[in-house]
Amino acid sequence: MEYAFKQVESKWQQYWKQQGAYTSNDFNKPKFYVLDMFPYPSGAGLHVGHPLGYIASDIYARYKRLQGFNVLHPMGYDSFGLPAEQYAIQTGQHPAITTQQNIARYRQQLDMLGFSYDWQREIRTSEPDYYKWTQWIFIQLFHAWYDNTLQKAMPIESLVQQFETNGNSGINAATEYENTFTAAQWLAYNQAQQHEILMAYRLAYLSNTLVNWCAALGSVLANDEVKDGVSERGSYPVERKLMQQWSLRITAYSQRLLDDLETIDWTESIKDSQRNWIGRSQGTSINFNCNNQTITVFTTRPDTVFGVTYLTLAPEHPLVSQLTLATHKSEVDQYVAWAKNRSERERQADVKHISGVFTGAYAIHPFTNEPIAVWIGDYVLAGYGTGAVMAVPAHDTRDYAFARHFNLPVKQVIEPTTPHNFNEAAYDEKMGTCINSGFLNGLSVNEAIKVAISKIENEAVGIGQVNYRQRDAVFGRQRYWGEPIPVYYKDGIAHTLPTDALPLVLPAIDAYLPTEQGEPPLARAQNFTYNGYPIETTTMPGWAGSSWYYLRYMDAGNTQAFASADAINYWQQIDLYLGGSEHATGHLLYVRFWTKFLFDLGYLPFNEPAKKLINQGMIQGTSALVYRVVNSNTFVSAGLKNKYQTTTLHADVNMVANQVLDIEAFKNWRAEYATADFILEDGKYICGSEVEKMSKSKYNVVTPDDIIEKYGADCLRMYEMFLGPLEQSKPWNTNGITGVSGFLKKLWRLYIQAHNGYGAADNASLKTIHKTIKKVTEDMERFSFNTSVSTFMICVNELTDAKCTNKEILQWLAIILSPYAPHIAEEVWQLMGNTQSVTKAAWPVFNESYLIESVFEYPVSINGKMKFKFPLPTNYTSAQVTENISISPKLQQLLQGATPKKIIVVPGKIINVVV
RNA sequence: GCCUGGAUGGUGGAAUUGGUAGACACGCAGGACUUAAAAUCCUGUGACCCUUAAAGUCGUGCGGGUUCAAGUCCCGCUCCGGGUACCA
């Protein structure tokens, strides 16, 4: 009887659905939370690369269920986003409708794969029931400030109280507010002034900041949405623009986001990306007096303070206009105007080009009292540190390049540990001894840094401090298809909506474009007001909804809270989180930030979202190439193409198997190819291939639908795992799938054979199954799914050879196979007379006693080279092994009379004879 | 540039703690069954030397080293992928 995968797979998919086989509501069991990063439902549907992580997490979730855990394994949709809106602009169709259609398509594809999601917990970030709570969290952020002393977010009322009693002098907060005021002054401020001050402390705040403006998308973008000076989505140019924007004060959490990386089991590469993104650097500020103004610089190398030969300010630095001498004014103005108007892209593309201008002013060195020239240069960034640097060209590569370009002095203050030519490059190693450095002379770099900081602090010329590269996250988007920000404006002051007015539903508009005045699309909405006051018209960015979605799955239907305390206390953190590494500095930082914030407010008993994170590799496409002879309709096989002059064209990969083109399919593909001729090699047309990104235009997209149609879902699941280690990126290639398909057929025959009459267990089969259980269990624990597939193949090969018909053995095999190939496992499980689903079975425990061998075939090496095998009882001691091998005729023959210097025996492993 | 991950047969990959390199598959070659094909099954398959076999030699990107023993550890390189980039 042939294995009819189509019938069997749809039968069990229906069964699981009817039985609610994957609901996760048995709260008496221990919990386990396995989460996939949810997808953005694009119009293209899933290709074979998408399910890679989903299959792995599904296998693990099923494994944990069989081990007796109550497993939370949900799925949902990150359904706000740009593509649906761009489509809406073109067609006028509401993005909700296309989103709905795309979700239906995704769901159909996900169902085909036999995933064990608990669909009762499905969420969609664009549904008001969901984004109500995204808005609610925003409101909490608005009404909170960050206490640096407690290292914790606090309600804004506690800040107001302190202002009212003590002013702001004793407060150590994450804020850009720099002035101090007393309680009396605070009370004397009017409401608008108080609001303005508070805004500078809030964790969700409005401010005028330089943002990444993308004109083509009509919106601002966060730093992680800009790659190489262009937008990540669509690759449109991005420029810097000063705008009033909503931001989230993620920088308040920089240190905790950094420190807590030590507490989580994530890959080192993701942690490193986050560390670099946060970019902590410890250093000190130093004040330079300049015509009664103070220029404050930030440096991590105060040990080189005597090597300063000039200062450089960013073109946007506020003191530029005040410091510049009249004689230099026009030149400086010209430069500043030029630098400010350069787009981000120009700056990026032009990093090597050095530009700058002298202000004519001189500052006074705080220790030597020497005059120090003040320059302006666009290699100094306004947004980092103080926007000004002390240039030490001898020991900083950029300063060196600038000094060389403008012929400025280079003063060596560190004696290098290795020979160094200062005429060629800066010496920027943090190693060596201070020279020409006053009170620092003779100290090592590391000692000098400490001494310099304490001297700087004692003489009040600066203060030790820490800077982060990380910026606050811009939170407003000038777009329609996102969560409305629950804020209204009364007399120009921002107020949040009361939480009982949530959700603030996205209003209908007539066109999904900015208004004539350049306002965001929401400004088109009629009566978009709260009690008559206008509501904020920017919407939240794509990452808002995904920053807390893992919490909603715990209690998806809750109308009273984002999730109940009971649900949160039961489910706790994500135990295993699977997703792509491209989210390293975006989503994965934001979700950690929101988790810490909700923890600070007492809503969560944990401050990291996921204990363990695994990144699945990307699956690339393998394009199929055909070669058309120039000026003809003749195609030549890849091996012969060099004999002709050819044009390379893409053929649809779905017409190609093992590099061989299906010529009939190719002729039918396009009318122009219907009459094509082919020059074959060995009767076949062989295609060339190239690894590229999977995309429609390259005809290399392989959908799971096609594979499932041909081989079934179990086969696709196992084949994707069989391709190689989960974390590794690899090109998709259907070449090996027949191996997995053949395995499933062989497995099926094994069960059909046995069904004719079950028999007793033989020793060989017992050993096989226990060995398999052991290996598969170990592989599961280390997420090595590819090796498990091999193990199953070996198992089935061995059981087939042993003609095993033992029911118990075959049942064990069905159970351990069921996470990988759930449909066929259910079918054979039922065939063996089980009435309950295999998903309710228990993961078997292997019995070591079946694996014990009485004899071991020792590999015998001479000088480390394996020569022959020699069987000996496993219970022999090293001495007994040595004795037996010494007298073995085979060894004698190989040694040809020589006496071994030494015989090394590792019992149960190897014998090595040293001559 | 910096940070990361990687490089093993014709191909995907295995070797978990330093202990038989190439498991398991694909492909290829030969064979069985068949009028034929598909499906299925069997045999062989790292390279070199050789008519074959046996034996031997070489072999995990390159060059060194440690060790009785190195794909695995150490030092120095090359190439490929991912991230990041005037961050003072």
DSSP labels for A337-350?
A: HHHHHS-HHHHHHT
pLDDT on residue A429: 82
pLDDT on residue A343: 60
Regarding predicted confidence, which is higher, A526 or A383? A526
CA of A479 and C1' of B1: distance in angstroms? 38
| A509-533 mean pLDDT | 89
pLDDT on residue A741: 93
> What is the C-alpha separation between A571 and A72, in angstroms, rounded?
8
CA of A58 and C1' of B33: distance in angstroms? 41
pLDDT on residue A873: 87
pLDDT on residue A345: 58
Q: Token pair for residue A813?
A: 């095999």
Q: Token pair for residue A851?
A: 């694996």
A258 conformational bin, left if phi > 0, alpha if psi -120 to 50, beta if neither: alpha
Regarding predicted confidence, which is higher, A452 or A656? A452
Reported as a single tens digit per residue, the pLDDT across A429-461 is 888 899 999 999 999 888 899 999 999 999 999
How much is the mean pLDDT over chain A?
90
H or E element that contains A443: none
> What is the C-alpha separation between A513 and A508, in angstroms, rounded?
13
| Res A686 pLDDT > 80 | no
Q: What is the DSSP string of A317-373?
A: -TTHHHHS-GGGHHHHHHHHHHHHHS-HHHHHHTTTS--EEEEEEEEE-TTT--EEE
Q: Of the candidates A563, A549, A562, which has an alpha carbon nearest to the alpha carbon of residue A503? A: A562
CA of A801 and C1' of B42: distance in angstroms? 13
| Res A670 pLDDT > 70 | yes
Q: Of the candidates A694, A568, A716, A841, which has an alpha carbon nearest to the alpha carbon of residue A54? A: A716
Reported as a single tens digit per residue, the pLDDT across A236-274 is 777 777 788 899 999 999 999 999 998 999 988 889 889
Lowest mean pLDDT among A112-126, A225-239, A660-674: A225-239
Nucleotide minimizing C1' to CA distance for residue A787:
B14
Nucleotide minimizing C1' to CA distance for residue A781:
B16
pLDDT on residue A1: 65
Nucleotide minimizing C1' to CA distance for residue A858:
B20
| A161-177 mean pLDDT | 92
Beta strand A529-530 with A533-534 is antiparallel
Reported as a single tens digit per residue, the pLDDT across A347-399 is 666 666 788 999 999 999 999 999 999 999 988 888 788 889 999 999 998 89
Q: Token pair for residue A499?
A: 């939480």
CA of A797 and C1' of B55: distance in angstroms? 33
Reported as a single tens digit per residue, the pLDDT across A56-90 is 999 999 999 999 999 999 999 999 988 888 888 88
Displacement of CA A890 from its chain's centroid (Å):
58
Strand, helix or coil at A547? coil
CA of A790 and C1' of B14: distance in angstroms? 9
Nucleotide minimizing C1' to CA distance for residue A790:
B24
The residue whose CA lies nearest the C1' of nucleotide B4 is A269
| Res A235 pLDDT > 80 | no
- DSSP state, A840? G
CA of A220 and C1' of B81: distance in angstroms? 31
H or E element that contains A445: helix A445-458
Nucleotide minimizing C1' to CA distance for residue A735:
B26
pLDDT band at A663 (very low <50, low <70, confident <90, very high): confident
CA of A719 and C1' of B39: distance in angstroms? 21
| A643-654 mean pLDDT | 81
| A475-481 mean pLDDT | 90
pLDDT on residue A233: 72
The residue whose CA lies nearest the C1' of nucleotide B3 is A272
Nucleotide minimizing C1' to CA distance for residue A273:
B83
A593: number of Cβ within 10 Å = 24
Reported as a single tens digit per residue, the pLDDT across A853-896 is 888 888 888 888 888 888 888 888 888 888 888 888 888 877 77
CA of A864 and C1' of B49: distance in angstroms? 23
pLDDT on residue A85: 87
H or E element that contains A91: helix A82-91
Q: Find the angle CA(A49)-CA(A688)-CA(A701) to the nearest 5 degrees.
A: 25
> What is the C-alpha separation between A763 and A770, in angstroms, rounded?
11
The residue whose CA lies nearest the C1' of nucleotide B25 is A739
CA of A787 and C1' of B57: distance in angstroms? 33
| Res A718 pLDDT > 70 | yes
Lowest mean pLDDT among A215-219, A371-375, A829-833: A215-219
Runs of H (alpha helix) within A727-857: 737-755, 763-781, 785-801, 807-817, 822-831
| Res A159 pLDDT > 80 | yes
CA of A890 and C1' of B52: distance in angstroms? 25
Nucleotide minimizing C1' to CA distance for residue A749:
B40
Nucleotide minimizing C1' to CA distance for residue A312:
B88
CA of A154 and C1' of B9: distance in angstroms? 63
CA of A428 and C1' of B1: distance in angstroms? 13
**Contact by Cβ (8 Å): A817, A746:** no
Regarding predicted confidence, which is higher, A544 or A342? A544
Displacement of CA A233 from its chain's centroid (Å):
16
Contact partners, residue A671, CB within 8 Å, separation at least 6: none
- DSSP state, A127? S
| Res A689 pLDDT > 90 | no
Give me the interface pTM, i.e. the ipTM.
Answer: 0.94
Reported as a single tens digit per residue, the pLDDT across A88-118 is 888 888 999 999 999 999 999 999 999 999 9
The residue whose CA lies nearest the C1' of nucleotide B12 is A723
β-sheet bridge partners, residue A310: A373, A391
Beta strand A31-36 with A70-72 is parallel
3-class SS letters over A412-432: CCEECCCCCCCCCCCCCCCCC
The residue whose CA lies nearest the C1' of nucleotide B21 is A866
Nucleotide minimizing C1' to CA distance for residue A275:
B3
The residue whose CA lies nearest the C1' of nucleotide B2 is A276
- Predicted TM-score (pTM) of the model is 0.91
**Contact by Cβ (8 Å): A815, A843:** yes
Phi, psi of A185 (to 5 degrees): -65, -45
Percent residues over pLDDT 90 in chain A: 57
> What is the C-alpha separation between A213 and A90, in angstroms, rounded?
22
| Res A229 pLDDT > 70 | no
A863 conformational bin, left if phi > 0, alpha if psi -120 to 50, beta if neither: left
CA of A846 and C1' of B36: distance in angstroms? 49
pLDDT on residue A664: 82
The residue whose CA lies nearest the C1' of nucleotide B24 is A790
The residue whose CA lies nearest the C1' of nucleotide B41 is A746
pLDDT on residue A349: 62
pLDDT on residue A350: 65
Lowest mean pLDDT among A299-313, A393-407, A665-679, A690-704: A690-704
Nucleotide minimizing C1' to CA distance for residue A868:
B20
| A137-146 mean pLDDT | 97
Nucleotide minimizing C1' to CA distance for residue A914:
B68
A284: number of Cβ within 10 Å = 23
CA dist A343 to A211, A216, A338, A505, A728, Å?
12, 14, 10, 36, 37
CA of A804 and C1' of B53: distance in angstroms? 37
Query: Which positions of chain B lie under 7 Å from any protein Cβ?
Result: 3-5, 11-16, 19-21, 23-29, 39-41, 56-57, 68-70, 81-88
